[in-house]
Chain A
Amino acid sequence: MLNIDCPWCGKRHETEFRYGGEAHIARPEDPAALDDTEWAEFLFMRKNTKGYFAERWLHNNGCRRWFNVIRNTVTHEIVGSYKMGETPPKLPKSAGGAK
């Protein structure tokens, strides 16, 4: 069970959270201006990253805030979490083991 660092509440068990998929996919300003391919890209296409990945989490059984997490999808290492609108922390160069 992941130990997720909510930027408001601190570290809590994964069971308090809901997963929200890939982060930093903004809803297009003017969807009508997109052609079908562009719209489908926004709707359906997500990265299947092996390694460090920015993803959204909701502390739904806690403060009910959405925030972002950088997690290594191979090791589950969590590099850090940050509030919506904040700049992501710097990514480590390579996926290493725990210290």
Chain B
Amino acid sequence: MTQHFRTASGGRIDRKKAINFTFNGQKYIGYEGDTLASALLANGVHLLGRSFKYHRPRGIVAAGAEEPNSMVQLGEGATTEPNIRATQISLYEGLTARSVNVWPTVEFDISAINGLFAKIMTAGFYNKTFMWPRAMWMKLYEPVIRRAAGWGKAPTTGDPDIYDHMHLHVEVMVVGGGPAGLMAALAAGRARARVLLVDEQGEFGGSLLSKKRQIGAKDEMAWIADMLAELEAMPDVTLLSRSTAFGYYDHNYLCVLEQKTDHLPAAERKGKVRQRVWHVRAGQVVLATGAHERPLVFADNDRPGIMLASSVQTYVNRYGVLPGKKMVLFTNNDAAYETAIDLQAAGGDIVAIVDSRAEPSGELVEAVRALDIEILAGYAITGTRGGKRVESVQVRAIQKGAKVYTSAARRIDCDLVAMSGGWSPVVHLFSQSQGQLEYDEEKACFLPGTKRQAQQVAGALAGEFTLKECLAGGYKAGADAARATGFTPKRKPAAPEIDEPALGGIEPFWVVPGARPIGEGMAKHFVDLQNDTTAADIELAVREGFESVEHIKRYTLTGFGTDQGKTSNINALAILSGILDKPIPKVGTTTFRPPYTPVSYGALAGRNLGDWSDPVRVTSIHDWHVENGALFENVGQWKRPWYFPKTGETMQDALNRECLAVRNGVGVLDASTLGKIDIRGPDAAEFLNRIYTNAWAKLGIRRVRYGLMCHEDGMVFDDGTTARLAEDRFLMTTTTGGAAGVLDWLEEYLQTEWPELRVYCTSVTEQWAAVSITGPTAGALLKKLAPEMDLSPESFPFLSFKEGVVAGIDARIFRISFTGELTYEINVPWACGLALWEAVMAAGAEFDITPYGTESMHILRAEKGFIIVGQETDGTTTPQDLGMDWIVSKKKPDFIGKRSYNRSDTARADRKQLVGLLTEAPDEVLPEGAQLVFDANAPKPMPMMGHVTSSYYSATLGRSIALALVKGGHEKKGQKIFAPLLDRTVTAEIVDPVFYDKEGERLNG
């Protein structure tokens, strides 16, 4: 197929460079400089897809980001991308694309039968129809709807492309590289500010790329080239094309998606960054984002071949394509007349101009009259015909104010309808920046009003619709932005003579009635083409009681598509205003949210993938664990050995073996991840006294104490042991996951509440590796490693520490215990961790030393009834709830949390309290998190009396054990409690939480 719809000459395409591409399996040829949309139009292809709900044939409507219809599935395999607008895909050699939302083909689509049921598929259809019965959702409705209503398909394999992020600080950021944006960048650049100019298109120039204009002595292309040459020569000006500012956040923080290789053939993309997200902080932002043309809402305004007038002009002038050869123009303003002039000049035929205004006048209207083109003034299109392409329109004389037109209908044959309902400034980024919009009656559009951020607006966004205004407004905005950031702008250049037609007025015309009232009969007046929302849907929504624009949006789906309603929002609003009989500004607008156009997850993730998605912290002994088959558990960012299975062992086998080794011999644990904070200063003891619930002032040097930390509300938030290294120095340990939070907490109180205390905190977690040996033979093992050290209980009692040499390494040895067995926690400099571990393993061989992980650690401590913060506590648990009154000082006048223990709520008797549970069947291990009830036969919903916090099989005890928080549990020991599970109810007895060695006799070996 050859390009029958190319113009004879012109356009910014390179006719010498043919490009082969494939659409829906058919091969075509386009030219370099084409978009997929322009190349398809050049080949006469208008039918690109099917609509969302009714599966009506749809074609290309626009030429840029506002395109609502022509979404395609681009590429194949891992790099395929769904729902990309054909109007924004630069054509490249070998491009393949398919229609979305068609099945089996775009030409013959089975779901188009939906169109026959269109009467029932109105606003809220999905909400109303598929409410009940619930089971039908899973089996029938959802799969069917998903296939019928889905757009493109997400790739099923990982994204192989490379993405990255860059950060940039500039004084002036300019968004939009049209005439206003170029002038703004020039003004700020000449003032020597650091400037960033971004534009979503492959070429700078914006609307000038689509229009012929003489600017002074230059034509538009020479003018753009000269502007770019000057900007490129400025060292502090950065120009980014193919770069969309998609999000405008607080304090002038903007995100820009730069598409670096999407326009290249696959072979040229290899090894390059595909897309880059720029994070920009700007002193001032100049928004010059232009305007989008609005469609007109008339009966069956959705057929392929019905396009925006300015887009037709773009295809003709920029791409050298005739979107049709027999055009009807339907407009309510005279800017659109230029399209007729340009299409005719390029060889097209203008059948008629249908102008809703009774007396159109002005320079462009006269120019068209001079071309002998028929102008039907005071007329409207009231219907269209055509299957996969528009074939004719029906026009009638407008009867002002009437809901039904009875005037005579006339049929006009055509293959292209260009429509223009006026212009909507692209206020998206301005709105994202929290700026307020104001409705301009004369220009019939919303314009930026009160701004919230340090910014300027210019060009069509500011309602400056002529080139002359754009150039002047752009320069002023750039100069103002430079001045506001401390630069002195150069004198404004003299305004060039510009050859452009004078513009007449616009008469808003929001919805066109026909021979029958809107919503009656088969005709559809589409407002949102992507979501198939019609004017009748909006009327229905109002009849059903919706009035707020935000509710109407959600009920009718207007503006909810991937195009975010760029062509539909204002029409929907205006139609709503008409139905409610409220002025447009009173109806209000919906919220514009980022992203302006869709952004792929790959780009957002950048390089933060896989191993780089989050920092991984490992101990100095980690490699040994890996080599010895440990399975790992994530604790915060740390990798901790979970357990060390031997060949053929199940997880439970391994846990049983590890736990029994600790109880009967000696086990070894890598405890390096515990948080460690060095606390120094003359007031350190006083500080600990206020932070912990127990007393610290009198703790002897070289002594260790266990402490609980609570928030002011009395709830436990961390625990650990703290050793007194010297009169003015302590070493605090925290939970592995809580270390950063505890340090924050300490520093917060030192800085904000008690700045008079002379205390300094330093995290030393990664300065000390810790190897914990535990079990009845731990003493004998340590004796081998530190023969000089006096390990007698008199010299080295429980809860004390010594400094000495262990396996040739200077060490601190702490006598603490989380297993209930004799335990030495040997701390050595981080870099010596592995050497110590290996020495311990070698010396321990004769004791059959067994490395164990966090899971066995959890079982061993549960056997002893020791809590784990975050498992037995959940932020609503007091020390008293845990049965730990013994650690709450009665003597200290004040400490954090103390006052709250007397609050009526914390003093309640029926608070959830920590208890042990023994299941009736000893092998039954309760699921952690299981809810507990006192009456297994109570009617549902049963009163929940608590939940299981920890639950294990204990090899030591030869049965299961569990810890639980139970309402009033401390007083309920001996009572039965039930865990109703999905398939059975488990019975258990409430017992003391200490299951093993209640007297603590094993602590000394």
**Chain B residues, Cβ within 8 Å of A3:** 250-253, 281
Rounded to whole Å, the gap between the CB of A42 and the closest CB of chain B is: 8
Which of chain A's residues has its CB closest to B904's CB? A36
Are A98 and B455 interface neighbours, CB within 8 A?
Answer: yes
* Contact call B454/A99, Cβ cutoff below 8 A: yes
Q: Say yes or no for B766: interface residue by CB 8 A criterion.
A: no
B748 near A66 (CB under 8 angstroms)?
yes
Residues of the B chain whose Cβ atoms lie less than 8 Å from the Cβ of A10: none
A interface footprint on B248-263 (CB within 8 Å = 1, 0 otherwise): 0111110000000000
A37-55 Cβ-contact flags toward B at 8 Å (1 or 0) = 0011011000000000000
Residues of chain A within 8 A of B281, CB atoms compared: 3, 13
User: A34 — which chain B residues lie within 8 A by C-beta?
Assistant: 899
Identity of the chain A residue whose Cβ is nearest the Cβ of B897 in the assembled complex: A31
Contact A36–B903 (Cβ < 8 Å): yes
Instruction: Pick the contact of A97: B451, B747, B752 (CB < 8 A).
Output: B451
Q: Considering the complex, which residues of chain B in the window 899-919 have a beta carbon less than 8 Å from any beta carbon of chain A?
A: 899-900, 902-904
Rank and list the top 7 A-B pairs by shortest CB-CB distance, nearest first.
A31-B899, A3-B251, A1-B253, A66-B751, A76-B250, A98-B454, A27-B753
Are the CB atoms of B450 and A97 closer together than 8 Å? yes
**Cross-chain contact A75 with B748 (CB below 8 angstroms):** no
Q: B252 — which chain A residues lie within 8 A by C-beta?
A: 3
Q: Which residues of B contact A13 (CB under 8 A)?
A: 253, 281
Question: Which residues of B lie under 8 Å from residue A97 when comparing CB positions?
Answer: 450-452
Residue contact B898 to A2, C-beta cutoff 8 Å: no
Q: Which of B249, B434, B452 has the most CB of A within 10 A?
A: B452
What residues of B have a CB within 8 angstroms of the CB of A98 in the complex? 451-455
A32 contacts which chain B residues (CB < 8 A)? Answer: 893-894, 898-899
Docked pose: A77 CA to B454 CA in angstroms:
10
Q: Which residues of A contact B (CB under 8 A)?
A: 1-3, 13-14, 18, 20, 26-27, 30-32, 34, 36, 39-40, 42-43, 56, 58, 60, 64-66, 75-78, 84-85, 97-99
Can you give 7 A-B contacts (C-beta < 8 A)? A1-B249, A1-B251, A32-B899, A36-B902, A39-B900, A64-B747, A85-B755
Are B251 and A65 in contact, with the CB atoms below 8 A?
no
SS class of chain B's interface: helix, strand, loop or mixed? mixed
CB-based contact A60/B744 at 8 Å: yes
Q: How far is the CB of B335 from chain A (nearest CB, A)?
A: 32
B752 touches A43 (CB 8 A): no
What is the CA–CA distance of A84 and B756 in the complex, to the nearest angstrom? 12
Q: Decide if B484 is an interface residue (CB 8 Å cutoff).
A: yes
Q: State the CA gap A18–B893 with chains docked (Å).
A: 31
Give Cα distance in the complex from A66 to B250, angstroms: 22
B744 touches A18 (CB 8 A): yes
17 additional contacts, CB 8 Å, given A64-B747, A85-B755?
A1-B249, A2-B250, A3-B253, A14-B250, A31-B899, A32-B899, A39-B900, A42-B712, A43-B900, A58-B748, A65-B751, A66-B752, A75-B434, A76-B250, A84-B751, A97-B450, A98-B452
Within the complex, which residue of B251, B893, B902 is in contact with A2, where a contact is CB–CB below 8 Å?
Answer: B251
B742-775 contacts to A, CB under 8 A, are 744, 747-748, 751-753, 755
| A56 contacts B752, C-beta separation under 8 Å | yes
B93 interface contact, C-beta 8 A: no
From A30, A39, A56, A66, contact of B903 by CB (8 A): A39
B713 at the A interface (CB under 8 A): yes
Q: How far is the CA of A84 from the CA of B752 in the complex (A)?
A: 7
The distance in angstroms between the C-alpha atoms of A29 and B744, with both chains bound, is 22
CB neighbours (8 Å) of A85 from chain B are 755
Residues of A within 8 A of B455 (CB): 98
Nearest-Cβ distance from residue B459 to partner chain A, whole angstroms: 20
Residue pair A31, B755 in contact (C-beta under 8 Å): no
Query: In the complex, what residue of chain A is closest to B713 when comparing beta carbons?
Result: A43
Instruction: Say how far A6's CB is from chain B's closest CB, in angstroms.
Output: 13
